[in-house]
Amino acid sequence: MVAGLSFTEGAANDWLAVATNTGHGFSHSLGALVFTLFVAAMTLGRFTGGQIVDRLGSVRALLLMGGIGLFGVALFIAGDSAWSIGMGALFWGLGSSLGFPVGMSIAASHSKHLGPGRSASSAASATGRCSAVRH
C-alpha cells in the first residue's frame, strides 16, 4: 500500500500537468493549475495527517487515504471537464499525501522486531527503489 501511494504521488509530480495538457487536451496554464491543486491538497493532507492518524490509527488512515487517492485518480482519468479533472487532482493529492510519511513511521516503529539498524536500512532501500523507478 505504501509503495502504491508513493508511486501515485511520484506519477502526479512528474506527469499530472502533462497529462492534463496532452491527455485531456486542456491548456498548459490549466495543467499548471491542476498541478497546483494537487500540491495544495497534498500539503493540506500532510498538515492535518497527524490528527487523522491519531484518530483512526495508521492502518485505517492509510486505507482511508488510499481510497480517497484511488477515487481521485479515477476521476482525473475519466474526467472530461476542467472541473472534474481539478477535483480529481484534489482527491488524488489528498489521498496520496500520507502514504510515504506514515509508511516510514510504521517501518520505524517496528524496528525492535527487525533488529538494530534493519528498519532504517529497509526504509532507505524502499525509498531508493521508489525514487529510482520514478526517474
**Mean pLDDT for each consecutive 10-residue tract of the chain (135 residues)?**
84 94 96 97 96 94 94 96 97 94 83 58 51 48
The structure's pTM equals 0.80
Buried residues in 23-34 as b, exposed as e (16+ CB within 10 A):
ebebeeebbebb
Inter-CA distances, 106 with 18, 54, 67, Å = 33, 13, 19
